[in-house]
């Protein structure tokens, strides 16, 4: 679920979108597109299971990643990271 933040530009509690800029997630208002705040960027990681807390880009277990991609209910960012890591490992295996 998306956090709701207060936008100082339109003076409302609003939803937001983020952009990655130099190790920061920059939050922008959905209503007025005004800057809200920077939040530290954290690499996508698995938060349950065998590799709990480990960044996806560091996991070498292709079969586990394929299983996680198919079976785990994760957000889009994590799903994308899993897909990219699977593709990378499959390419390296060739």
Beta-carbon contacts of 77 under 8 Å, excluding residues fewer than 6 positions away, are 44
Which among 35, 62, 40 is positioned nearest to 51, based on CA atoms?
A: 62
Query: What's the rounded mean pLDDT across residues 34-42?
Result: 81
- Is the pLDDT at 2 greater than 60, yes or no? no
Contact 28, 16 (CB under 8 A): yes
Say which DSSP state 30 is in.
T
Which among 6, 33, 1, 7 is positioned nearest to 18, based on CA atoms?
A: 33
- CA 87 from chain center: how many Å? 17
In the chain, % helix, strand, coil (3-state, to 5) comes to 35, 30, 40
pLDDT in tens, 48-94: 889 999 999 999 999 999 999 999 998 888 999 999 999 999 999 88
Domain residue ranges in the chain: 5-40, 56-93
- 3 state SS of 23: coil
Higher pLDDT, 68 or 30: 68
């Amino acid at each position: 679920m998306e956090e709701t933040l207060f936008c100082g530009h339109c003076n409302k509690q609003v939803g937001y979108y983020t952009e990655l800029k130099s190790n920061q997630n920059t939050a922008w208002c959905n209503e007025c597109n005004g800057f809200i705040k920077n939040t530290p960027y954290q690499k996508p990681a698995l938060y349950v299971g065998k590799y709990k807390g480990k960044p996806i880009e560091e996991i070498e277990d292709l079969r586990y990643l394929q299983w996680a991609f198919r079976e785990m209910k994760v957000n889009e960012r994590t799903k994308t990271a899993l897909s990219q890591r699977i593709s990378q490992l499959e390419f390296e295996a060739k």
